[in-house]
Amino acid sequence: MNPLLVFPDLPRFDAFSPDHVAPALEELIERARAALAKATDPATPLEWQSLVTPLEDATEQLGRAWGTVSHLNAVADSPELRAAYNAELPRVVQFWTELGQDQNLFARYQALHDSAGFAALSPERQRVVTHALRDFRLGGAELVSPARERFAAIQERAAELSQRFSENVLDATNAFALPIDDEKELAGIPDDARESARAEAQRRGVPGYLLTLQQPAVLAVLQYAEQRSLRASIYRANATRASSAAQAPATEAERGALDNAPVMDEILALRAEEAGLLGYPNFAEVSLVPKMAGSAGEVVSFLRDLGQRARPFAERDYAELKAFAAGELAIDELCAWDIPFASEKLRESRYAYSGQEVRRYFQLPRVLGGLFALVERLFGVSVKPDQASVWHDDVSFYRIERDGALVGQFYLDLYSRGDKRPGAWMDDARSRRRIGGELQTPAAYLICNFQAPSQGRPALLTHDEVTTLFHEFGHGLHHMLTRVDELAVSGISGVEWDAVELPSQFLENFCWEWQIVREMSAHIDTGEPLPRALFDRMLAAKNFQSGLQTLRQVEFALFDMLLHSQFTPGAAKSVQQLLDEVRSEVAVVIPPAFNRFQNSFAHIFGGGYAAGYYSYKWAEVLSADAYASFEEAAEQADGDRMVAETGQIFLREILSVGGSRPAIDSFRAFRGRDPEIAALLRHNGMV
């Protein structure tokens, strides 16, 4: 038996080899094509069981097998697996694209939606059909020739341009290198950054040091270099990448080739045209259809409100910084390239603590114990070790039970390895679904990249890493504690893009609760919990310059939203002018006129964040406000009972329902009102 084809069981990782990929995928794509043909056959009855279920069966299996291969590609990379993955990737992508654009399937779903039987479907099933229709429409399925062909051409060209935008940023970043002969010029820069600069020079066969625009190198200079002119050079080179004002490459023609200004203009024009074809006034409204936020206007108001509330704190942060720079650093006029430097010095003088010292208090087994105990207390479940076949000896497996019954399972793969992608993430191994009378329980992959334990001692985590673990576990709970039986809206499936970080950011808050930190910390040598004074300093450092940081996020998000809603590509106002307007409205610190930040704003031009950058702050409002409900419960006379009760409501109204209803309805059902911004401000020290 092919270990990728053991449905509904979890994959047999111990029996897997890359040779299994091609035959499994070929078989599953064939089955999915057959199911699609059956679903679009007019002879197939227009009913859920005969139309939707068989297609879901087949596409779920394809999705799961491909998910397993992608997962292994990320955590157990090998040349053979990579080759097998790349060989199948085009076929898999092609199938999903065809499925999403199938006119006949669109017509069948529309007919099901319009049929008398639709009203008799459960609300979850109705939502699955409505979502499918929405996605078909946004994919251009309703368009007729010639708009149809034009839409396809726009998609293709826009994808090319996004790719070009990112490549230009990358090439422009790599084109710059500043040679440094005299080590004295590097004064203040930490040893590891200095060593990288020396290695870079060696690699390129030049003497001395080479400073590049790789982000760690830029940060090292801007935060630590004593030499002001060096900070200014690196700041300018970094802030003008991929623009006509760039410092590299050498010739004007080469710089012109990497200039992202025309790329941005064309992307914006294409997005506006796409919106017009789909019948929307602008691209922001298209982007917001599958999101929680109702309209561009709503997002703009939200951002302006947040900006105004944060402004006094940002002004205070900036005044404090200016006074410190003048008094302690002899910098009388604070320039853009002084801000990170002065900020770092201020942070060190006010809130310095050793991250390495903190790390000695967080032993992984104890942190996991604290996390599981919290989840058990909040949501009335129990977490227990379990058995499954895994892809590496370091991987462990657990089950979550409620009243003795299995709810979900998860894999923990927490240590970094050479064959593993960096970062941390949660991914679904299997989603909850009822098939016939049988319940398929969900399973999750929880992946981090912590330093592996050594010398027989447990692994130690920084506080940031503890927070990361809680964050990913929050996503995992959303996936595993769902009670929805329909695949397309169970767990995190079908949850709005700008609401999906609610459970993850929510759980992070508990890493800042003294009781919890005390219980899950124990010094590796003494066994003592983290001292309260150290915890208080960490808390103060967390909120350092939160006003300035909030305004920076608001500036980017407002620029993004206005650019995609109130800006006409090709008209009199340029992208630069719009950004200048946003800055003069929002920012406390106006960047120098040569700054071309937008030319390397890859989130919105090269990635998937167009008219979506606001979602970072949006989700933070939701998660902070949700967490505040637990704070309020804890303050009651019978705090423990109230917290447990609040946990049950959170479970019932948010975690359990997944994508089966709009996120705003879930939030209101939990909180009894609309989201409010106050908790976010309070948690960031802006009160």
Least distance in angstroms from the C-beta of 653 to Zn ion: 20
Burial of 164 (0-12, 13-18, 19+ CB in 10 A): middle
Q: What's the distance, Cα to Cα, between the start and end of the chain in Å?
A: 61
Q: Which is nearer to Zn ion, 427 or 555 (CB)?
A: 427
- CA–CA separation, 443 and 395 (whole Å): 14
Complex with Zn ion: residue 246 or 446, whichever CB lies closer:
446
Q: Give the chain's length.
A: 687
Compute, in degrees rounded to 10, the torsion defined by CA atoms 370, 374, 377, 378. 180
List the one residue out of 442, 395, 414 whose CA is nearest residue 64: 442
Give, for 438, the enclosing helix (H) or strand (E): strand 438-440
465 is catalytic: no
Structure tokens, 62 = 């394809």
Task: Give residues with Cβ within 8 angstroms of 154, minimum separation 6.
Answer: 270, 273, 274, 277
- Give the residue among 487, 592, 598 at the shortest CA–CA distance from 54: 487
SS3 430: strand
Considering the complex, what minimum distance in angstroms separates the CB of residue 676 from Zn ion?
A: 22
CB of 151 to Zn ion, least distance (A): 32
Residue 509 CB, nearest distance to Zn ion (Å)? 14
**261 vs 500 by CB, closer to Zn ion:** 500
Strand-pairing partners, residue 450, are 415
Q: How far is the CB of 291 from Zn ion (least distance, A)?
A: 16
The residue among 504 and 545 lying less far from Zn ion, judged by its C-beta, is 504
Q: What's the min distance (Å) between Cβ of 414 and Zn ion?
A: 16
- Measured from the CB atom, the residue of 426 and 611 that comes closer to Zn ion is 426
Buried b (16+ CB within 10 A) or exposed e, 49-68: eebbbbbbbbbbbbbbbbbb
Q: Which is nearer to Zn ion, 73 or 504 (CB)?
A: 504
Which of residues 425 and 544 has its CB atom nearest to Zn ion in the complex? 425
Which residue of the set 472, 486, 501, 620 is catalytic?
A: 472
Assigned token pair, 320: 């404090």
Cβ at position 109, least distance to Zn ion in Å: 31
Cβ 410 to Zn ion shortest distance, Å: 16
Of the two residues 168 and 504, which places its CB atom closer to Zn ion in the complex?
504
Exposure string of 611-643, with b = 16+ CB inside 10 Å and e = fewer, is: bbbbbbbbbbbbbbbbbbbbbebeeeeeeeebb
CB of 286 to Zn ion, least distance (A): 24
d(CA 586, CA 686): 17
- The two tokens of residue 44 are 């197939």
Instruction: Say which residues have a Cβ less than 8 Å from residue 64's Cβ, sequence separation at least 6.
Output: 7, 429, 430
Residue facing Zn ion at closest CB distance: 504
Question: Which tokens sit at 258?
Answer: 């990497």
CA angle 303, 306, 310 (to 5 degrees): 135
Which residues bind to Zn ion, rule: CB under 5 A? 504
Q: What is the nearest approach in angstroms of Zn ion to the Cβ of residue 652?
A: 22
For Zn ion, the closer CB: 212 or 504: 504
Can you tell me the distance from the alpha carbon of 105 to that of 231, in angstroms, rounded to the nearest whole number?
A: 58
Nearest of 480, 467, 514, 500 to residue 379 by alpha carbon: 480
Residue 301: CA count within 13 A, CB half-sphere = 6
Query: Least distance in Å: CB of 666 to Zn ion?
Result: 18
Q: 270 or 480: whose CB is closer to Zn ion?
A: 480
Dist. CA 681–CA 250, nearest whole Å: 46
- 504 or 656: CB nearest Zn ion: 504
* Strand order across the 443-450 sheet: 382-385, 396-402, 405-415, 443-450, 425-430
Sequence-distant (6+) residues with CB within 8 A of 65 are 4, 5, 24, 25, 28
Please state the φ and ψ torsions of residue 179, each to the nearest 5 degrees.
-75, 135
Between the CA of residue 394 and those of 305, 416, 424, 455, 493, what are the distances in Å? 47, 10, 16, 16, 29
> At residue 497, what are phi and psi to the nearest 5 degrees?
-60, -35
Q: Which residue, 233 or 504, is less far from Zn ion as judged by CB?
A: 504
| DSSP code of residue 184 | G
Task: Compute CA distances 79 → 65, 71, 106, 563, whole Å.
Answer: 19, 15, 40, 43
- The least CB distance from residue 208 to Zn ion, in Å, is 42
The structure tokens listed for 539 are 């808390």
Catalytic residues: 472
